Structure 1
Amino acid sequence: MKKPAARFLRSVTRWEDLPVEGLPEVAFAGRSNVGKSSLINALLRAPGLARVSSTPGKTRQLNFYLVDNHLYFVDLPGYGFARAAQAERRAWAQLITRYLQERPTLALVVHLVDSRHPPTALDEAMMDLMRGQHVPYLIALTKADKVSAPRRVQATRQVAQALAKRALEVPVVVTSAHTGLGLRELWGWIAQVALGRQS
């Protein structure tokens, strides 16, 4: 698979500043410090393109990356970061919820869940939110290089159980931004769902 041509486009904190080009968008959602920026960098093979930080909650806006001039990757603010002011957290939540519910060009939501832990209450709240949407949705279990093979199986089962409780049937992809595990499979879903072609 050739390296995508990718560049940072803009950061958005207000609905009216969202891009208007009409290209399909793949949104990456998940709790703070789950590895969204790292996974985006790994998928695009562009270290440092999406800003990676060890400080949870560093992404405080919707960051748009243009991919091959026909697709956007959107890095959403992480949920569950407690240090931000309550009003700021509420504003993020409102913008993210509106984006997920109303954005007409949103083609796929990649929901990142840390493979080292069972799904949190906030992870499950995200599943509840996606259950009511008509947007294709998948789970990417992150940081799989940091856990054993049995733990990966257990993590996949735990996510599958949480999805089953909500009657959600969506793909679960085990990934590692560090080793590249699962990236080809993830690109396959992006190509098929967001771009409408077989990988």
Structure 2
Amino acid sequence: MKITQADYLISAVGPAQYPTNGLPEIALAGRSNVGKSSFINKMLNRRNLVRISEKPGKTQKLNYFIINNAFYFVDVPGYGYAKVSKKDKEAWGRMLEAYFTEREALSAVVHLVDLRHPPSKEDIQMHEFLAYYGHPVITVATKADKIPKSKYQKHKQIIVHDLGLKADDLLILFSSFNGMGKEDAWRALDPFLN
């Protein structure tokens, strides 16, 4: 994928602020600290389009990025971060549920998990939620550069088992450090960008 343009558009809290031009949207979901910002920056060849926060739980709205004037990346709030108030968590939950269940422009979801660790309870819940609503899901295991290649297969098998991935479900190993998996991710996304 040749990226000619990538810009932050809006931070939306509800349907009134969502774009209305009907372009396909790719949502990026994952727990806080999984590397969503780094994933977006690497995929779009931009170092600082999305600020990488030292504090997990920073994304609190749906952040829209328009790419090549043809589709959107939608960065959704990370889940599983304890230092957020219960009230905030519930508000995020309602916002995300409405987005994932009602948004017609939502074309596919990239679900990011950390390759180094077994999927968390929240990772499993998110995967089941997305599967229940029938969204095409591309599972991306981040931080692949942080474990030895000899352990890739073992870690992949844990993710496949814990998330209940089927044989034809995509699982892409990704590193924002060295770009591993970037082309695979674009190939997987391509059918959903029109």
TM-score scaled to structure 2, two decimals? 0.95
Partner of 1:176: 175
SS in 1 for 2:123: helix
Partner of 1:49: 49
Greater mean alpha carbon deviation, residues 81-90 or residues 21-30: 81-90
Partner of 1:88: 88
Partner of 2:123: 123
Partners in 1 of 2:112 and 2:62 — Cα distance?
16
Q: Deviations over 1:117-156 (max 9, x none)?
A: 0001000001110121222111000010111113322221
Unaligned runs of 5+ in 1: none
Partner of 2:68: 68
Partners in 2 of 1:99 and 1:169 — Cα distance?
26
Q: Within the alignment, does 1:33 sit opposite 2:33 as a pair? A: yes
Q: Deviations over 1:145-190 (max 9, x none)?
A: 11111332222111111233x7684200000011000000000111
Q: Within the alignment, does 1:107 sit opposite 2:87 as a pair? A: no
SS in 2 for 1:84: coil
| Runs of 4+, deviation exceeding 4 Å | 166-169
The one-letter amino acid of 1:179's match is N
SS in 1 for 2:184: helix
Partners in 2 of 1:168 and 1:153 — Cα distance?
15
**Contact 2:119-2:163 at 8 Å conserved across structures:** no
Partners in 2 of 1:101 and 1:95 — Cα distance?
10
**Percent of pairs with identical residues:** 38
Partners in 1 of 2:17 and 2:34 — Cα distance?
26
Partners in 1 of 2:178 and 2:19 — Cα distance?
33
Q: Pairwise CA RMSD of aligned residues? A: 1.5
Partners in 2 of 1:4 and 1:188 — Cα distance?
17
